Structure 1
Amino acid sequence: TETKTEWYLEVRIFEDGVGMRYRIPGAGARRVEGEATAWVLPKDAPIWLQNDTRNYEGIYYRSSLEALYASDDVEKRWLGAPATVEPVDGIWMLITEACLYRYSGMTLHVEEPTRLRVGFQDDPEGWEMQGEILTPWRVTLVAADLNGLVNADLIQSLGEAPDPVLFPDGMATEWIRPGKGLITWAVFGNDGAQWWRQKWFVDMCAAMNCEYLLLDGGWRSEQWGFLRDGGDLWARLTELCQYGAERNVGIFVWSAYPEGRDDGPGLTDPAERRAFLDRCKAAGVKGVKIDFFDSESRDTIEVYEAFLRETAQRRLMVNFHGANKPTGETRTWPHEITREGIREQEYLLWGDLPLEHYGALPFTRMVAGHGDFLPGYVRPQYLKNTTSVFQLATAVIFTSPFICWPDHPEAYLESPFLPLVRTMPSVWDETRVLPGSELGGLVAMARRSGHDWFVAVINCRPVPAEFDLRLDFLGDGSYRAMLIRDVGEDDKTENLVESGRPVDASTTWALQLSSGGGLVARMGPPTSYTE
């Protein structure tokens, strides 16, 4: 369309894809009412997607644009990125956005049977902007295989470098410390916020080698027991932080963003937000979890950025829940330690997750960035259609620099998995998607931390699977392995733990995996191997 408006198209091309964005110079107030950017896909190209564009907690499934366009359910024509397109002519493709700041979040609309167009569901009438208009990057990742897709770093590469004043050592800045933690909510509900439980939770964290305790929903409300017996909110929080520091356990605290909830006041007022963060810092808190944004409107995106800036100024890590998709924020704001924006395992508290969803996430949503998945239930009532070994494997496959273990602490301490729970890294030096993995089906990954390799396999097919696990990624030298696998067909908690098994790059394990079953192994050089 002919226009007299001056505008520029910026394009950056990488080995793993392309990013493009629009720059429109100018001054004063102008209104953004939409965008014409679109992707045209081959007819019948299979695409993996989810339809929740509110907080990105939809179930991923396989379809095609043609089928979505023909559906009587018009809501199916709206997709929440990222969406992954199966190979056409041998190339995998993933569609999403990067550097979402001071703009409305991109949703994808099936406009024609082969055409996906950019839309803005949370700002359907548009929004006003001052001065230059700069869109987020519209991203197309390409890869020859699933390993290339998972290891693509284009989304983060498009981001701006972190502020050297706030983050003098970038992601290695001293106060940004990934780790594992227990969570007072999950299987306890808001009852977990009762004051008498908190030091016990810290003691459990220390026993499990967890660096953090997340004091979750309910602690800021009188009805859930944190203030029972006349305690002062901030005095008790300070006491808890001091108790944790003596045991090398840092404290994260939760708050809702919106007002009007029964589990504590919100933070919609900027002055109240800054006062809350100041008091957290003064009490000795290490990070905050902010919940229930449930939007990626332009106004809400500016609130995310305000939280990122103001927590960084106070050296507090941040975890966003009830959130939108990640768009590479961790490049610019490396203290964002995790975020939700994913249908994760809190849903096991009241329902289940389709196996296909587990099998899709590593190659769809998780490609975009970390996800607070709540991996690793161990008690039977929460396993649903998975085994306990499958659950442990999710801690390796679904990455988060802040791993929150969701089950009862005593269940972990009594579990044969405890050695792996205590030594599980939360960040990795290298990742390999192993041959035989398939989107929505069987997933096999090897991840390296230092000299140690962790291998996880989950069978997300509806039927049993045979899988030859080759350890050729180990390279030269010998290793000792701890191996955990399912052994029972009827008992989802029955497993076999083998320790000290010699392995090397020539080793192949022939696996028989039940539907919803899995395997986990940790391998290290003999000189550093521990039980």
Structure 2
Amino acid sequence: MTQNLMHLKTVAFPLIIQAVLIATACQSSAGDHLASPSENISASLEIGPGGSLRYAVFFNGTQVVEPSELGITINGVNLGRGVVLGPPDISEIDVTYATRGHHGQARDHCKLWRYPVTHTESGCQYTLDLRVYDDGVAFRYVVPGTGTQHVDGEDSSWKLIANSKTWFFERLNKQWKLKSYAGEWMPTDIENLQTVSPMGPIQGTPLVFELPEALGFAAVTKAALYNYSGMRLKAIGDRTLVANFTEGDAGFDVDGTVITPWRVIMLADDLNGLVNSDLISNLNPAPDESLFSDSSFIKPGRCVWSWETLGLGSPETQRHFIDLAAQMEFEYSLVDDGWKDWESPWRTIKSLCDHGKEKNVGVWVWVHSKDILDSANDYALMQSFFDRVIESGAVGVKIDFMNGESKDLIDFEIAALRLAAQSKLMINFHGCHASTGESRTWPNEMTREGIRGIEVNKMKEGPLPATHNAALPFTRFLVGHADYTPVLYTNPGPTTWAHQLATTVAFTSPLQIYAEHPETMMQLPILKDALSVTKTIPSVWDETIVLPGSKIGELSALARRSGDVWFIGLLNADTPRTFEFDLPFLDNHGYSVTTISDDFDAEPVSLEGLLNQKADLKAFKTVVPFKVDQTRWKGAKRIRVQLAKGGGFVAIIKPENAGIRLR
């Protein structure tokens, strides 16, 4: 293999051979360790026994990742053993860019080290890239080559600090766990992660950790998944996780230079820092300016959806849902599985899209991945389908049932995003792995599943527990948007109606697809009072604050801002509680406030007979309704909220004077 290293300004850098030296280096002069811009996080590299490459990570002076193996095996050669490191090229990245989700602006600020690595036995020369941010550490391997290179696997590993509480997702007795990433989030001790699951020791990403002794929080995951297989994490005991791949021992092929996705550990002092981290997005390349010079076709919004409560129905059903989207003031309607069985399906879709244009409602169409999954002639079959979509006037495609993250499926996803961008179409992936920040590079990806969403409530294995919902903002949503399809008043499981509405504030998705039948939201008398609130909640945010008192799996409390308006969303788990919180971000002015809270004084509402043909209520045949109150607040104040078991709370806070701006 030929050496093909990226050249930056070279800075002399002393290689640290013994990890023990780093503990003191973190408190000494810069240059003795690989430190983040503010030096709260640092990493070390060392050559361990047998010439193996290892690293460690320090957070606020504490070693949170103990010395852990690095390495990649290509063409049968383990390039992490028997190596020599050269002096690194060092640089700093500091850019800002527009983003979607928790806030509107992201900052990519880190120190970057590029180490030349020589494998002494084979003579192979490659690069280890290592970025250190104020909210985490990421590394990847760049192995030059021509022709086909076979990746056998990686030794990339993470040995976490002892006594860390680990959050992972589980789907009992289902092989779908690592195909769809649709598992229920639950905790265990890091020491038990190897044996806790009856499905085995392999877990999907991210894994989230509550660090001991109030050190903060961490997450291990991946970013920038392109031209490679998706990494899972195998617990091997001794608090250690090792990279694992769908292909197993068979490995997979990469043409030309192997550039692995980033292997990431996110770090934060508190949940607010964890949720607001842009690390996963930062590690993805900026979008191609020529491909996205016209991005006017990319429009976040809310979407109606007949599938959860009614199924597809007839073309007349979907025409009616477009009308309902217009009445809800939603931007989109989704035509799901089954439309291709209609008589003259493409002509019917065009008729629906034409009707949508008259109503200012964009139409999305569903497709099974197997119908377009053919890589021949640069995915010509997919391009042909997209051409028909464009001819029909639809604005986006929901692609379903990839059911994995092997390299061929990752290639398919990226090809779909590329061809869709060329066709000016938006994409929603279902039956897929969780986000790895792709939407920075491909902003036409509006959402993806990779989550255990509300549709589970009608399934045999449902319903979703409130603990799962209360965990999601601090677990799955850390790595990017997710199509949970929120709000299901007619089949809420063990949650209240206020909890259901609060998920639209708590869960981020630029394309927010509502599960509930629009007529239920608009016409059921007890729900109509909340309709104005539902219409107001946006799908993207300018600012997010995680309120103190939030706890993974117990209480999610978030304040989000859109323009001058603040939205509060609380998701409670299984214990009724009184929650008090401050709003210090408000100025000392008057605000008009609408609150939606659990109504403890009202009789539970029967769910039987409501407009949901597909509901399986199981034992949850009644629900705690909400009450809607209008009030006025004067400046910042302390709020006291009563939350039911599985309860929730929503507040919309608007400045009374349009000229007043929030800080």
TM-score per shorter chain, which class? over 0.9
- Distance, in Å, in 2 between the alignment partners of 1:129 and 1:334 is 25
Amino acid aligned to 1:394: T
Structure exhibiting the larger radius of gyration computed from Cα positions: 2
Which residue matches 1:295? Answer: 404
- Distance, in Å, in 2 between the alignment partners of 1:437 and 1:122 is 39
- Distance, in Å, in 1 between the alignment partners of 2:648 and 2:569 is 7
Match of 1:257 among 369, 374, 386: 369
Say which is worse superposed, 445-454 or 160-169, in terms of deviation: 160-169
Which residue matches 1:62? Answer: 187
- Distance, in Å, in 1 between the alignment partners of 2:386 and 2:655 is 44
Whether 1:246 and 2:371 are equivalent positions in the alignment is: no
2:599–2:624 CA contact under 8 A, matched in 1: no
**What value does the CA root-mean-square deviation take over the aligned residues?**
1.6
Paired residues for 1:93-492 under 5 Å: 93-168=218-293, 173-189=295-311, 192-221=312-341, 226-227=342-343, 232-258=344-370, 265=371, 267-268=373-374, 270-350=379-459, 351-379=462-490, 382-414=491-523, 415=527, 416-460=529-573, 462-488=574-600, 491=604, 492=623
Relative to 1, partners in 2 of residues 1:487 and 1:71: Cα closer, same or farther, differing over 3 Å? closer
For residue 409 of structure 1, report the CA deviation from its aligned partner. Answer: 1.5
1:65–1:110 CA contact under 8 A, matched in 2: no
Q: Deviations over 1:488-530 (max 9, x none)?
A: 376124221112x11144322211211101110101111359x
2:564–2:655 CA contact under 8 A, matched in 1: yes
Which residue matches 1:10? Answer: 129
Relative to 1, partners in 2 of residues 1:188 and 1:245: Cα closer, same or farther, differing over 3 Å? same
- Distance, in Å, in 2 between the alignment partners of 1:100 and 1:70 is 28
Gaps of 5+ in 2: 1-80, 83-118, 171-176, 605-622
For residue 76 of structure 1, report the CA deviation from its aligned partner. Answer: 3.5
- Distance, in Å, in 2 between the alignment partners of 1:272 and 1:504 is 60
Which residue matches 1:527? Answer: 657
Which residue matches 1:261? Answer: none
- Distance, in Å, in 1 between the alignment partners of 2:450 and 2:197 is 27
Match of 2:629 among 498, 501, 511: 498
- Distance, in Å, in 2 between the alignment partners of 1:70 and 1:276 is 45
- Distance, in Å, in 2 between the alignment partners of 1:504 and 1:450 is 19
For residue 68 of structure 1, report the CA deviation from its aligned partner. Answer: 2.5
1:50–1:80 CA contact under 8 A, matched in 2: yes
Match of 2:169 among 50, 53, 59: 50
Amino acid aligned to 2:560: R
For residue 422 of structure 1, report the CA deviation from its aligned partner. Answer: 1.2
1:122–1:296 CA contact under 8 A, matched in 2: no
Q: Tell which has more relative contact order, 1 or 2 (C-alpha 8 A, sep 6+).
A: 1
Which residue matches 1:38? Answer: 157
Relative to 1, partners in 2 of residues 1:486 and 1:220: Cα closer, same or farther, differing over 3 Å? same
2:588–2:636 CA contact under 8 A, matched in 1: no
Relative to 1, partners in 2 of residues 1:183 and 1:72: Cα closer, same or farther, differing over 3 Å? closer
- Distance, in Å, in 2 between the alignment partners of 1:168 and 1:424 is 29
1:476–1:505 CA contact under 8 A, matched in 2: yes
Say which is worse superposed, 429-438 or 409-418, in terms of deviation: 409-418
- Distance, in Å, in 1 between the alignment partners of 2:476 and 2:533 is 26
Relative to 1, partners in 2 of residues 1:220 and 1:426: Cα closer, same or farther, differing over 3 Å? same
Relative to 1, partners in 2 of residues 1:477 and 1:124: Cα closer, same or farther, differing over 3 Å? farther
- Distance, in Å, in 2 between the alignment partners of 1:527 and 1:281 is 44
Gaps of 5+ in 1: 259-264
Amino acid aligned to 1:86: E
For residue 421 of structure 1, report the CA deviation from its aligned partner. Answer: 1.4
2:372–2:385 CA contact under 8 A, matched in 1: no
For residue 122 of structure 1, report the CA deviation from its aligned partner. Answer: 4.1
- Distance, in Å, in 1 between the alignment partners of 2:230 and 2:588 is 47
Say which is worse superposed, 269-278 or 340-349, in terms of deviation: 269-278
Which residue matches 2:205? Answer: 81
Q: Deviations over 1:119-173 (max 9, x none)?
A: 103444101222211100001111000000000001101111101112126xxx2
Say which is worse superposed, 192-201 or 359-368, in terms of deviation: 192-201
- Distance, in Å, in 1 between the alignment partners of 2:282 and 2:162 is 31
In the alignment of these two chains, the number of paired residues is: 505
Amino acid aligned to 1:45: S
1:400–1:427 CA contact under 8 A, matched in 2: yes
1:187–1:349 CA contact under 8 A, matched in 2: no
- Distance, in Å, in 1 between the alignment partners of 2:222 and 2:485 is 25
For residue 468 of structure 1, report the CA deviation from its aligned partner. Answer: 0.4
Say which is worse superposed, 95-104 or 519-528, in terms of deviation: 519-528
1:183–1:405 CA contact under 8 A, matched in 2: yes
Give every structure 1 segment of 4 or more consecutive aligned residues whose post-TM-superposition deviation is greater than 6 Å.
Answer: none
Amino acid aligned to 1:22: Y
- Distance, in Å, in 2 between the alignment partners of 1:161 and 1:42 is 34
Relative to 1, partners in 2 of residues 1:389 and 1:123: Cα closer, same or farther, differing over 3 Å? same
Amino acid aligned to 2:359: R
TM-score w.r.t. length of structure 1: 0.92
TM-score w.r.t. length of structure 2: 0.74
- Distance, in Å, in 2 between the alignment partners of 1:176 and 1:471 is 33
Which residue matches 1:262? Answer: none
